[in-house]
Chains A and B, each alone.
Chain A
Amino acid sequence: MSPPPAPPILTVDDVCVAYGDIPALDAVSFHVAPGDRIAVVGPNGAGKSTLFKAITGILPVQAGTIVVHGHQAGVDHCVAYVPQRGEVDWSFPLSVADAVMHGRVGRIGWLHRPSAADRAHVHACLAAVRLEDLAGRQIGALSGGQQQRMFIARALAQEAELVLMDEPLTGLDARSRQDVLDVLDMLDAQGIAVMVATHDLALAADVFERVLLLNQRLIAWGTPGDVLTEAHLMAAYRGHIRLVDTDRGRLVLGDVGHDGHAPHDRHG
């Protein structure tokens, strides 16, 4: 959609992050253009969440630079973060509309209250993810897919240009997954870049334009066909992946024996 020389919205240059003495990210460099849809894949502990937290600015980087360009220089509201569902206190006494309004807190500004225009904007964002009928519900009353869409609505309310999503599809049923993927298409159509951390290599191959394969170092970065090769996957997953030739093509069993996830398949 966007022409190749589009100026990047995010530049990550030679970034290193460590927790104490334990390295989490090592010399990672890439850039994101407006409207890019990127899957961030890698084994557990590869640094996917660390990368997102570094981009949001809550984790300091030990070396390298992360520059968020956006359209409004000096207004750092253009990165939004969609948390893993397990990180959220769903019993928190907030309505869905309240939670989406949080996206506008920075724009409303200190000591001001949300205006009628802010409320109208929130309503439009809820409508965009088809949650307008649930605006008054307490957040814990939503289903898993609705919860993800609520946070995407919060990113829209923020007028974000880059949305970071951590395992948004884990634990969702097929229909909820499709609802979330439809919303990703909507973000795509608006030129909003999306980075999705996922365990699911099949998903990365099927619905993402670009894949970033990470295991502390950047193993590979490009189109799914270029990145998800045997050599790269073996390098990223080390012993935790199996490649099996079947009559339907090559089967990739990811993260073997590492967590309880079902194996993911992909045609090679």
Chain B
Amino acid sequence: MAELIELVAAPLRYPFVVRALVTASIVGVVCATVGSFVVLRGTAFLGDALSHAILPGVAVGYVLGGGARGPLVLGALAAAIVAALGIGAISRRGGLKEDTAIGIVFAGMFALGIAVISSQRGYAVDLSHILFGNVLGVSRGDLALTAAAGAGIVAVVVLLYKELVLVTFDPVQAATLRLPVARLQTLLLVLTAIAIVVSLQTVGVGLMVAMLVTPAATAFLLTRRLAAMIALGAAVGALSAVAGIYVSYYADVASGAAIVLVCTAVFGVVFVAAPGRGWLWRKRGG
């Protein structure tokens, strides 16, 4: 027992590990909250694309701000908005399917981001941090920003919960009630973009979509009520993030990858064994 406590407590002696644990937990909660809507609307590819498309914004913010956090976040947000508008414009005006438009915008902007970063010296390290995260490098300011933005996102979802659920489930009914359907859908996109930006340092753009969809999908298999799905997804996301950082600490693997692997493992267990819906139950039921 004492050994186990020591195993858990040892990393906590380092303040940077504690900051990483808190930040990653917040990211887990925030991503699962918006991720539940991503899963239910079937927009996982859009989430993945948005997380890649912010790269040029991050890169320009990085170059102009010399590594300061503010310009980086603003650049990322600006890029996310440009990407979302660009996807909408190409699919509406060009008559192309939305997933094609997403592919074009996402790859083009991602390439632009890599081009900008590669023009800088020592870009390999910076690029790998942006692509795959560097949660152990989180500063106090980063943590405060993540907490504030996360609280804001959760507050918006709580305040507009019934409208956001209705617009996700049945946009036609929402329109008959004269809700601003397009604006609410855009709001969900903006919330997703903000969640991606504040989660950037934890798992990086490459693995972001896993934080959005994997904990939420795990929760989907465990409950038939949306509020419970969001709460459970948040718990799965936060606990996976904490467990992942411990795995990273002891197994000496990249923290972002470790977090996502824990999420995936939890999903796998639930997928096989979830009461009523898991693979084992469906087999038994015939």
Contact of A102 with B166 in the complex, beta carbons under 8 Å = yes
Q: Which of B173-181, B197-205, B259-267 interfaces with chain A?
A: B173-181
- B176 partner, pick from A81, A89, A111, beta carbons under 8 A: A81
User: Judging by beta carbons under 8 Å apart, are B175 and A105 in contact?
Assistant: no
Across-interface contacts of A172 in B (CB, < 8 A): none
Contact A93 B223, beta carbon cutoff 8 Å: yes
Please state if B229 and A93 are interface contacts (CB–CB under 8 Å). Answer: yes
- Which residues of chain A have C-beta atoms less than 8 A from B172's C-beta? 53, 56, 58, 81, 83
Q: Are B171 and A58 in contact (CB under 8 A)?
A: yes
| A94 adjacent to B177 (CB under 8 Å) | no
Among B40, B179, B225, the residue within 8 A (CB) of A89 is: B40
Q: Which residues of B contact A95 (CB under 8 A)?
A: 224-225
Partner of B162 from the list A80, A81, A105 (CB cut-off 8 Å) is: A105
Contacts of B229 in A (CB 8 A): 93
* Interface set of B (CB-CB < 8 Å, partner A): 40, 159-160, 162-163, 165-166, 169-179, 181, 220, 223-226, 228-229
Residues of A within 8 A of B165 (CB): 94, 102
Nearest CB of B to A87, in Å: 8
Q: Does A106 contact B (CB under 8 A)?
A: yes
Query: Which chain B positions have C-beta within 8 A of A158?
Result: 177
Interchain CB contact under 8 A, B225 and A93: yes
A-B contacts, 15 listed (Cβ < 8 Å): A56-B175, A58-B175, A81-B172, A89-B169, A92-B40, A93-B40, A93-B229, A94-B169, A94-B225, A102-B173, A105-B179, A106-B179, A110-B160, A111-B159, A154-B173
Q: How far is the CB of B244 from chain A (nearest CB, A)?
A: 26
In the complex, are the beta carbons of A93 and B220 less than 8 A apart?
yes
Q: Are B170 and A83 closer than 8 Å at their CB atoms?
A: yes
- Rounded to whole Å, the gap between the CB of A53 and the closest CB of chain B is 7
The reply to whether A92 and B177 form a contact with Cβ atoms under 8 Å apart is no
Distance in Å from the Cβ of B164 to the closest Cβ of chain A? 10
Q: How far is the CB of A3 from chain B (nearest CB, A)?
A: 28
- A106 near B162 with CB under 8 A, answer no
Asked if A182 is an interface residue, CB under 8 A from chain B, the answer is no
Contact with B along A111-140 (1 / 0, CB 8 A): 101100000000000000000000000100
Task: List, in ascending order, chain B residues with CB within 8 A of A89's CB.
Answer: 40, 169
Q: Which are the 8 A-B pairs with shortest beta-carbon distances?
A: A106-B177, A138-B224, A58-B175, A56-B176, A93-B226, A76-B178, A102-B166, A93-B229
- What distance in Å separates the Cβ of B231 from its nearest Cβ neighbour in chain A? 12
